[in-house]
Structure 1
Amino acid sequence: MYMNTTPLSKLGSLSILFIASLTIMVGTVVAPGLMSISKNLGVPNYATWLMTIPSLGVVIISFFSSRFIEKFGYYKAMIVGLIFYGFFGVIGMFLHGFLLVFLDRFLLGAMTGIILVSVNGLISEFFQGKQRLKMIALQAIAIELGGVLILGTSGVLSTIHWNYPFLIYLFAWIFLVFLLLFIPNPNKKASNKENEEEFTNIKSSIKEVLLYVVSSMFLFFIGIIVLPTYLPFYDMAEDEIGYLLAFISFIAIIAAGTIPKLTSKLKERNVLIIAFSFYMISHFIFFSTSNTIFFIIAGVFHGSAFGLTIPLLNHMTIERSSSKKLSKNLALYTMMVFLGQFLSSFMEFIPVSRAYIFLITSIFALVIVIYSIIRLKKFS
């Protein structure tokens, strides 16, 4: 894999983290004022689609975007993504009706996919080995922390006027300035002359990594989507539910920060087994308890599982990719991230109670754990 020799300053590293936070912004901007926003946009019966359609845009466009990125490079692709992310984001406040609103949300998701692939691509060029894993862990922290801050800011803005939260999307243009000022253009294409044989034996590993990516995102967002409609049955108020979700994000931040040291002691496959075991435990607790204390304990397991999986799987995708396949594999990784999020929204249509949704997903997590113990030897 081509290694960029141009050093990246601290401001450059910070700029990459700022840009990475845009990937969580795509849905969370409209979350606090979702009902009033959907009503004013003329789609009151499709409110949740405002959050899920961008994920569909990422899934469909990401794979095709890999060729665009291969041709122009991560840096130029990032510029294009940031320009149109800001445009499609802010213009949403002026649209009305099903077709225009959701076409705009779809295209916003497409730009999100380009940005995420480009962010990971630049990280792969500027950082290597343990430093790369550390940067990816910081990226996950930035995304989660950004989500918390954006939710709070959007909530305040939505109380002033329903369309003010859309202005948050303009941060993409501010971050574009950061990109141009503080992040040098590698201006080189990855060499395809490296020995491809060393990567041939791990093609199946890439497929397994992607399986874990979509599974982790699916299991995590089941909690995010189902809990707000499930916990009120146990007399939890909206603000208390919000605190629990924020707490889960906070735990994910802490867990992500432990990955570099954890993987040096336990190895990657063992960390993944532990993480999916945490998913299994958290979902089973959500299913079986009505006690607030146990909900908090489940939140610890749930946030830890997410924080331990996605950053690590991002790193594993890069490590198992030749330069020739890197942009394609990063695009596939991005697809799986948002596919898992998109698929989780369909669990609400299963004709069972909210509690039994968590039982089903707990069993699913158990299957993943068993599969991991048997198959993840390839990741050693």
Structure 2
Amino acid sequence: MMKSRSTSKLAGFTLLSVACLTIMVGCVIVPGLPSIASALGLPTSASWLVTTPSLGVVLFGPMVGRLIERAGLRRALCIGLFLYGLLGVIGVFLRGPYVVLGDRLLLGGATAIVMSAGTGMISALYEGSARLGMIAKQGMSIELGGVIFLSIGGVLAASGWQFPFLLYLVAWVMLAMVWMFVPDVDLQSDGDAQGQSAPVSAGLKLVFFSASASMILFFTGIIALPLMLGSLELSEAQTGYFLSFISLVAVVAASQMPRVARSIGENQTLVFAFVCYVVAHAIFALSPSILSAVCGGIAMGCGFGFSVPLVNHMTVEQSPVAQRGRHLAYLSMSIFLGQFLSSFIDIVASNTQHVFVTAFILGCFAVATVSITHHRLRARAGSR
């Protein structure tokens, strides 16, 4: 198997660029969402255009794992990138809720392939500290992609509702880059039998839970913050800048994640990430002001930056080589399930403050669950 020392910089850059597509799937149409929804025949269901791809990742995740095992990482990634560009751009020609949302659902399936195979390629081409560093950079790329594509999508939406859909064709540019710069790898290099079925370990189940919980807590804030900031008389543009600021904080936190994980341990870093979420939502709930919003935004960005790249790394480290594709697909399902479920928080919370209080309680539950479960797993391993 090719290792990190022989992997070219162009291959690494390509795989980090591919990571941007995971958050791009929904955010490119957000700036022009009202006009896009109206033009496509969904004037009262605009939010479903953003959240349906997340549901698609969850529904198609199991099939994605089997595709990666049968086709291989590089071929699966190429298939995913081709479908991502095709299903994304044809959305501009579709009309009516069933056809449009069906396309967005399939786009989620393509996103699951890209996300799982992309992380799988990193896990196969890098090892040890180099792998952890690349996965941290992958988390940074995801957040930077959100900043970049939100900005470009806004500029394109100002010229016409159709133009943001052109951004999906970036996937075809990346397909060419993968074909030229990323070497093929063999999932079976460590001697694992392809297709060998093994139950998901308790440790991995905790990782998948952590991934879903992190995304619920992060996107709950992203959904509720514009309402809170609007009450503080911030304009839509200023709100956009604030959300971009949170993404930039997450980028910085992700860059420091490997150092923190080596210092205090992976599970302790995960607990710390959830503590950051708890602090953020407590601040948002108790003291709505510009200064407190900035402090809460820093805490929330740290929660994302310390958790999402880490759960990618932990999934790779705890998965047998032949099972990595399947487990990374499960991780993708967990991440996007959390994103999808976050949109339902307002069902149980009657106003913005209650949304933050609900998220605060969920964050405390996540801290307790990760801490207690890790302690039990460690005690069980020590007794053997």
Which TM-score applies when normalising by structure 1? Answer: 0.95
CA distance in 1, matches of 2:223, 2:77: 30
CA distance in 1, matches of 2:350, 2:187: 51
Give the Å deviation of 1:63. Answer: 1.4
CA distance in 2, matches of 1:103, 1:367: 35
Contact 2:19/2:118 (8 A) holds in 1? yes
Q: 1:307 to 1:155 in 2, by over 3 A?
A: same
Q: Secondary structure of the equivalent of 1:45?
A: coil
**Are 1:266 and 2:264 matched, yes or no?**
yes
Equivalent residue pairs, number: 374
Partner residue in 1 for 2:328: 330
Partner residue in 2 for 1:365: 363
CA distance in 1, matches of 2:313, 2:349: 38
Contact 2:124/2:187 (8 A) holds in 1? no
CA shift digits 1:214-248 (9 cap, x unpaired): 00011000011111223212222212211111110
CA distance in 2, matches of 1:26, 1:100: 17
Any stretches of 5+ residues in structure 2 without a counterpart?
none
CA distance in 2, matches of 1:307, 1:190: 31
What is the correspondence of 1:283-362 to structure 2 with a 5 Å cutoff?
283-362=281-360
CA shift digits 1:222-281 (9 cap, x unpaired): 011111223212222212211111110000000000011111111111111111111001
Give the Å deviation of 1:192. Answer: 6.8
CA distance in 1, matches of 2:150, 2:221: 17
Which TM-score applies when normalising by structure 2? Answer: 0.94
Q: Secondary structure of the equivalent of 1:352?
A: coil
CA distance in 1, matches of 2:200, 2:165: 43
Partner residue in 1 for 2:85: 86
Partner residue in 1 for 2:161: 162
Identity of aligned residues (%): 39
Partner residue in 2 for 1:4: 2
CA distance in 1, matches of 2:241, 2:20: 20
Give the Å deviation of 1:364. Answer: 1.3
What is the correspondence of 1:1-380 to structure 2 with a 5 Å cutoff?
3-5=1-3, 7-186=6-185, 188-191=186-189, 193=191, 203-377=201-375, 378=377
Contact 1:202/1:320 (8 A) holds in 2? no
CA shift digits 1:75-121 (9 cap, x unpaired): 11111111111011111111111111101111111100000000011
Query: Which amino acid in 1 is paired with 2:268?
Result: N
Query: Which amino acid in 2 is paired with 1:348?
Result: D
Q: 1:5 to 1:295 in 2, by over 3 A?
A: closer
CA distance in 1, matches of 2:372, 2:69: 35
CA distance in 2, matches of 1:324, 1:50: 35
CA distance in 2, matches of 1:117, 1:290: 38
